[in-house]
Structure 1
Amino acid sequence: MHPYHRKISPYMCNGMPIGHEVFEGSRVDKKTVKEVLKDLKEKFEIGQCIFVGDRGLVTKENLEEIERHGFDSIIALRKRRNVEVKEIVLDATPHVYCIEGKELWWREVRNAEGIRYIVCRNPEVAELQRQMREENIMAIMDELNKIKGGIEKLKGKASLKRVVSQVGEVLWHKHGRRLIGYKVDEKDGRLSYWIKEESIKIEEALDGVYILRTEEQGM
């Protein structure tokens, strides 16, 4: 196993390490979680545990497996692929944050099942991400304008397949697919494009944000 291609899973008790496991870096987290939970129960005979994991561990199967063993968890949620996250950040209720300093604001949200979501926001990172997104959109628009100009010079003789390929390459390289929509006329290959305002709204709500999910009520 290459030393840089591995995962290390430490076991901590009252702040002290009591053991660890080393897994291949390419190993599927679903399988890793099952083995770690089995070790905690059988090898260490641990009855109460808070399982801490990163975004790669957030699957329905993993959460159910942790619950089945009677453990709580603190897990970071994926921002863009998680329905819970979007519901929280887009909630119209005024967001009141506790301010711990320039780099950390946080607030807590609970759902009907008592699951706690700790919403953390870094205003400086949020501003940086906003600026980077705006610069990226401008760069994409410049590239699309060049493609559109080239199409117009061909006076209706542009290849539909070629135009789609060019636009797709720009959006792929600049990560613009979720931000920019486009349409190519099937008859003359003319290109039209637009900013996805709803997607921008979601991105703005996610800027500088990360969210932790936990069932633990005593922390």
Structure 2
Amino acid sequence: HVFPGNTADKSTLQKVVADLDRRFGLRRVIVVSDRGLVSEQNLDFLSGQRFGYLLGVPGRRSDEAADVLKALADSQWQQVDQGNRVQEIRLSGKKTRYFVIDSAERRCYEESMRQRSMQRAKEQLQKVVAAVRSGRLKDPAKIGARARGALSRNHGHRYYSWEVTGPGQFNFYEDQEKLAAEMLHEGKYILKSNDRHLTAIEAVACYKELNTVEQGFRDLKDVIDMRPIYHKSDERIEAHIFVASLALFLKRT
């Protein structure tokens, strides 16, 4: 399938899945996708067609993800391989199954990035403190504006809180509640599925196969140099992509 460049990813799923079902009549279908295709309309469509799905759940800004992470139990982890473990979560009142994958490598990386962001945000807030103490910044509204500006960079609002108690009075501190919530996300990603038969280990294996697909797109762009496309007619654009896809197939075989 080749879609116009301005097509939203979420709008492509139903057409592609329906076409695959029409052409091949598959008895069991599990659609595996990253977060980019998750929408209520797509989930309703897949469930209505009796298709299974295994989808990534949006992270830090999602109430759904927060509820899943709060339900984790230290004793329920299953080891997948070295450095990776998985836990299935069921939320009260929901038929959806959730799988939380915890990666030691990813956790180490995200912890390092958080510490770097915290240090940079702290340095920006300390500049606000210095300006207040020197008397250059007195008005509470302006102090607040500077503090918000400092926290808007490096995700500082995720780790720090501040207060202005009066003219020329400013204080900031590590917000332990925010920090704990942030650390709970580190190293983890969440999958959701409506399939009743997938085991937690199988869910991880299926989702990892997305890496093969993503590597294929990277190869098309970087190794095969599919872009830029200089054709103007739809027919020639589709032919160009078809030849590039054949080249990818030959590369892999």
Per the normalisation by structure 1, the TM-score is 0.77
Residue 117 (structure 2) aligns with:
136
Report the alpha carbon displacement of residue 99 of structure 1 after superposing the two structures with TM.
Answer: 2.0
CA deviation after TM superposition for structure 1 residue 81, in Å: 2.7
C-alpha separation between the residues in 2 aligned to 1:26 and 1:57? 15
Q: CA deviation at 1:127?
A: 2.7
Change (3 A) 1:133 1:32: same
Given residue 129 of structure 1, which amino acid in structure 2 is its aligned partner?
E
Tell me how far 1:96 sits from its aligned partner: 2.6
Give the aligned partner of residue 180 of structure 1: 160
Partner residue of 1:151? 132
| Aligned match of 1:55 | 35
Q: Distance in 2 between matches of 1:34 and 1:198?
A: 40
Count of residue pairs the alignment pairs up = 197
What does 1:18-37 correspond to in 2, within 5 Å?
Answer: 21-24=1-4, 26-37=6-17
Q: Which has the higher strand share?
A: 1
Residue 195, structure 1, aligned to residue 195, structure 2: no
| 1:137-170 superposed Cα distances (whole Å, 9 cap, x missing partner) | 2322222112111112117x62445433432332
Q: Per-residue displacement from partner, 1:24-77 (whole Å, max 9, x unpaired)?
A: 455323321232233234444445311111112222222111112221101011
Question: How much does 1:107 deviate?
Answer: 1.9
Q: Is the 8 A contact 1:37 1:69 kept in 2?
A: no
Amino acid at match of 2:194: E
Please tell me the root mean square deviation across aligned C-alpha atoms, in Å. 2.5
Deviations 1:66-119 (A, max 9, x none): 112221101011121332321222226334322233331112223454432221
Contact 1:103 1:124 (8 Å CA) reproduced: yes
Question: In terms of mean alpha carbon deviation, does 160-169 or 189-198 score higher?
Answer: 160-169
Counterpart of 2:150, as a letter, is V
Secondary structure of 1:23's partner?
coil
Q: Which of these residues, 30, 38, 47, is aligned with residue 18 of structure 2?
A: 38
Contact kept, 8 Å, 1:30 with 1:61, in 2: the verdict is: no
SS of residue in 2 equivalent to 1:140: helix
Other structure's SS at 2:101 match:
strand
- The percent identity for this pair of structures is 23
Residue 99 of structure 2: aligned partner: 118
- Code of the residue aligned with 1:149 in structure 2: it is A
| TM-score of the superposed pair, with normalisation by structure 2 | 0.67
Structure 1 gap ranges (5+): 1-20
Runs of at least 4 residues off by over 4 Å: 43-47
Give me the whole-angstrom Cα distance separating, in 1, the residues matched to 2:72 and 2:191: 20
* Kept after mapping to 1: 8 A contact 2:10/2:38: no
Greater fraction helix: 2
Instruction: Name stretches of at least 5 consecutive residues in structure 2 with no aligned partner.
Output: 199-253
Decide whether the 8 Å contact of 1:102 with 1:124 is kept in 2: no
Give the aligned partner of residue 68 of structure 1: 48
Q: Which segment drifts farther, 33-42 or 205-214? A: 33-42
